[in-house]
Amino acid sequence: MKLVMKFGGTSVADGERIRGVAKIVADYAKKGNKMVVVVSALNKTTDQLIEASERARVGDEFFIHKFVHDISERHIATIKKAIENEFIQKNTVHMIQASIAELEKALSGITYLGDLSSKSMDYVLSFGERLSTPIVWGALTDMGLHAQHYTGKEVGIVTDSNFGDAKPLMNLTKHQVKERLEPVLEKGIIPIVTGYIAATQDGVTTTLGRGGSDYTATLLGASINADEIWIWTDVDGLLTADPKIIPSARVIPELSFQEAIEMSLFGAKIMHPRALEPAMEEGIPVRIRNTFNVGNAGSLIVKEQKVKPKDIAKAVTIFKNVAMITVSGAGMAGVPGTAAKIFDALGKSNVNLMMISQSTSESNISFIIQRRFLDKAVNALEIALLGKGIVREVVAEDDVCVVSVVGAGMKGTPGVAARIFGAVARKGVNIRMMAQGSSELNVSFVVKETDGEKALRAIHEEFRLGKPS
């Protein structure tokens, strides 16, 4: 098979884990698979780089000096654990020291200028993966594999100039990646590529934003027409519910891209929807696997929605840290453009709407936003709408959560909503708001945050999600 394997921060947290990653790659290489390996930064390194950038901006030279020393020591200690051969060890240490010297210059520049642009931040953040990737290369080389390490820029991932959340130029990226990586694979070499990092057409370093390393993996997979893309993480796969709330939650063996996207949007710890797009467009399956439980096949995300007769719902998720805003007034009824004014006010304030519900009387509209934007949203709405004879009040509630039921089997199945709401009602939980898209893959509703876990358990039990289908 032609595989793209991405290893997250927990999989490469230290030297012993990197050694484990190298063993996984070696085992599949020995079976004749062609592989591209995508690597994240060592666990928590990106957060540390963000903090260092902010401290540099305010001129904290002492912190920067200590940070550079600590990050150097951590990566050198990781090398010594991950690589046994002394020559490869020394070679890898030399590469790491050169990169850290470059990082120190960047942070010093920010310190002296007292300015931290998004462009500078991207450059600093790129060092997380630029430091981890050579170590994985060294561990693979130490095991006798023929590997080469690259940055995302070097393999041809090209983006726009939206620093911090850059968007790939897909056609150019696919062409360049295919042109650069396929000859390497044909020679039996394993490319080790930095996740998260790309560059503009002018060669300026950019980062791909949230879920960036996953995005790198699917971009590369789509470009080389991989058979599958494997995302190695620290869980066995996608689960029917949060196991911290429901211990009986089980791994979902297979689901569609659309189901996975619905789950990710409503609280499930899964790939960012944007990262799934390149694989979805090319119809390349994505498998979520556990680095620490290699024998488990994980969850396979595929293009086609396969529905078993009893497989109505596949998962139930909970999304906390949200707030509900209700805009109401008798003057809203029958007045064109009221909803547009509401959404325009929120859009101009960069507040994203997660759910929307409107009564048929048209006298109120309720919607869900992330809780951290609540004050900003209420202020924007009051300034734009109150005192103009249409809207009477704007009411905010910050003690709610969203429960979402996902499954392709719900489409066209009568009585699904009745089962969901009946199960919740039997537990004495009141539903404040609900929404269902026309795809029928998702039924989401709002309850008090104190009732959220109770509702989650009721639905998981109602659809017997803890039992194999």
**Token pair in block for residue 421:** 């709401």
**Cα–Cα distance for residue pair 36/220, rounded to 1 Å:** 8
> What is the pLDDT, as a whole number, of residue 386?
81
> What is the pLDDT, as a whole number, of residue 441?
82
**Token pair in block for residue 143:** 């095991």
Q: What are phi and psi of 421, to 5 degrees?
A: -70, -30
> What is the pLDDT, as a whole number, of residue 41?
95
Distance, C-alpha 351 to centroid of its chain: 20
**Cα–Cα distance for residue pair 435/342, rounded to 1 Å:** 18
Q: What is the dihedral of CA 327, 332, 336, 341, to 10 degrees?
A: -30
3-state SS string for the chain: CEEEEEECCCCCCCHHHHHHHHHHHHHHHHCCCEEEEEECCCCCHHHHHHHHHHHHHCCCHHHHHHHHHHHHHHHHHHHHHHCCCHHHHHHHHHHHHHHHHHHHHHHHHHHHHCCCCHHHHHHHHCHHHHHHHHHHHHHHHHCCCCEEEECHHHHCCEECCCCCCCCECHHHHHHHHHHHHHHHHHCCCEEEEECCEEECCCCCEEECCCCHHHHHHHHHHHHHCCCEEEEEECCCCCECCCCCCCCCCCECCEEEHHHHHHHHHCCCCCCCHHHHHHHHHHCCCEEEEECCCCCCCCEEEECCCCCCCCCCCCEEEEEEEEEEEEEECHHHCCCCCHHHHHHHHHHHCCCCCCEEEECCCCCEEEEEEEHHHHHHHHHHHHHHHECCCCECEEEEEEEEEEEEEECHHHCCCCCHHHHHHHHHHHCCCCCCEEEECCCCCEEEEEEEHHHHHHHHHHHHHHCCCCCCC
Nearest to 288 by CA among 404, 279, 450: 279
Within 13 Å, how many C-alpha atoms sit on residue 145's CB side?
33
Tracing tokens 């103009």 back to the chain, one arrives at: 388
| Residues in CB range of 401: below 8 A, 6 or more apart | 318, 319, 320, 322, 446, 447, 448, 449, 452
CA-to-CA dists, residue 340 to 305, 371, 385, 407, angstroms:
35, 22, 11, 31
Single-letter code of the amino acid located at 57: R
Tracing tokens 């620093």 back to the chain, one arrives at: 163
Q: What's this model's pTM, rounded to 2 decimal places?
A: 0.88
Distance, C-alpha 426 to centroid of its chain: 35
> What is the pLDDT, as a whole number, of residue 309?
62
Nearest to 232 by CA among 294, 141, 279: 294
> What is the pLDDT, as a whole number, of residue 339?
84
Under-50 pLDDT residues of the chain = none
**Token pair in block for residue 275:** 């990262």
Domains of the chain: 2-234 (3.40.1160.10), 315-462 (3.30.2130.10)
> What is the pLDDT, as a whole number, of residue 271?
78
- The gap between the terminal CA atoms of the chain, to the nearest Å, is 29
**Token pair in block for residue 155:** 């393999």
**Cα–Cα distance for residue pair 110/188, rounded to 1 Å:** 42
pLDDT tens-digit readout, 44-62? 999 999 999 999 999 999 9
> What is the pLDDT, as a whole number, of residue 266?
62
> What is the pLDDT, as a whole number, of residue 407?
87
> What is the pLDDT, as a whole number, of residue 261?
86
